[in-house]
Structure 1
Amino acid sequence: MLKTGIVGHQNSQFYFKNFSSQANYKMVGIFDPSFQFEIPSTFPKKLIFSSFGELLNQSDVLIFASAENTYYPLIELAVKQGKLVFLHSTYYFSIDELSHLIKLKEEAGGMVEVYHPYLWHDAFIEYGKLSKTPLLVESSQSGLERKDLIPAIRNQVNAILTRYSSNIKRVTANIISSFSEVPDIIILRLDFNNGSIVNIMVNSIEKEMHHTMKFFEYNSHYVIDIIQNQLICSDSVNDFKTLLSKKNNTADSMLQKQSYNFYYNIMNHLPPQNSIENEYNTCKVMEKVKEKMRISINIF
């Protein structure tokens, strides 16, 4: 049983509910700098820590539930001490900050896992059991708000890179904006040194929500439908469609699967599926997207 602490107020209920319900984790406490001004009534008082250092010393696992980079110095301390660290997001971290965390982790011998909103969707898990090396990936997501396009395409890159090496040859980004500088559509292409290609499109113009990922392999074709909870396979041997339980693919259920996988990897000395290294590679790709956005905006 791993002694577990949570840092950060935002999303803390989400993590507390999931990790405290599992036999593999024992909840030690929760810390946030804001607790010195107001202690939340949503947690038992005995679990509230006023000192990060105390929580750090008493925990094997530290979950950083808030995404803001103001928690970065605390994450640094945890990684330096070789703790098992679970991050809600690295969205606000720079490439240099991620690189520094990787270096600290390697020196201290700890582990850093990062939450992903659908990497533990049953369709993605089942596809992982069947797949070899995709030659072409076509990923599309619509029904998004414009402000959500960058996070959405980042999550897609992040998920897809877990199936590939980080050996990216070329990144090509295209931005389409209709009435303002904020993009309505982002199209991203990744070319890998082995010849594989990934095309990703996210858009806010099409209002109907859909999210599909198509994987084309030698003699086989797989379609993951995140919204409809489906995995469709077509190959030289057979065709099938698997309808998956919505109940097993809620945010709570997917976090539970990821946290179990986190524990399994710790116990078996295996690398995490969504590692800090994968986040670093994702961040490098996203820099190209942001660069394209800056170029598109500053054209005069």
Structure 2
Amino acid sequence: MTAGVEIERVSQHYGRAKALEDVSLSIAAGEFVVLLGPSGCGKTTLLNLIGGFAEPSSGRVLIGGRDMAGIGPRARPTTTVFQDYALFPHMTLGQNVGFGLKMRGVARAARQARAAEMLALVGLEGRSGVRPHELSGGQRQRVALARALAVEPDVLLLDEPLGALDLKLRRQMQDELKAIQRRVGTTFVHVTHDQEEAMAIADRIVVMNAGRIEDDGPPSRVYLRPRSLFSAGFMGEVNKIPVTNGQSPLGPLMPGTGTLCLRPEAIGDQGELPLGPARLEEVAFFGTHIRARFAPQAAPDLPLMVHLPQGAEARPGMMTNLFANNPVLL
């Protein structure tokens, strides 16, 4: 089963503090949406309002078209996966996964079969009798996911579930999480502060800041064509060049007034927008690319960060004519 979620002009205040301010968001049934933003931006507050762990100060939360006002977490068609897994150490994996079904009065044989099915779904087939302490962190996260899916929620809420994992395991779990969501078709709402994680798994990214939605769209659009300076900066490294009536410290660039945003990988020795000659100041090898800092001849105090190919010639002191692609004026 799956259902859509509607957030209608929701605000959440704690005394004078505003955690959310007039937030509206529509999530389609079966969609994988990631709420992305820094600590304190309101993303976890919004997740808690969807899950029924708090009631909004104003506005409405609807799941499957039904107003959730006054309906607690246990009665909502949602389940939540937390970062700390919250597995019962004295129970086997099968008992952990079947716990929610037991609370709903499902017969023992049926919940054992369902638990085995869900463990197989997350790659732990035949391990129903194992206890949590025998597993790695990634395996425990899979058990928590299996337990949440066992009760067949319409909406699965994930609160930074991969935050405690190391980089390699986190990337592996991102791929698995996305594959599982595709198989089960359940609506996923996932909270993270990691923009790479968001781009790896989301159908749609919702960028939040200071209790409001800054940007909302497919990962490629939000990254390449951000709608705000905050979104541009939070989605990854970006060069910001002030432009007034088409003029900038680097000379004439493009019509308009605002801040010209250029991704480091969009700058090189060829492109649609000439930035002029620049001196290479510093380089660092990052494996997939060379991160280089250039000082433009026209504005040495306005450094440009550039991602060069692995094999590019990059010697501090060398001069290069720089060009840019995919410019965005905000």
What TM-score do the two structures reach when normalised by structure 2?
0.29
Structure with the higher fraction of residues in helix conformation:
1
From the CA coordinates, give the structure whose radius of gyration is larger: 2
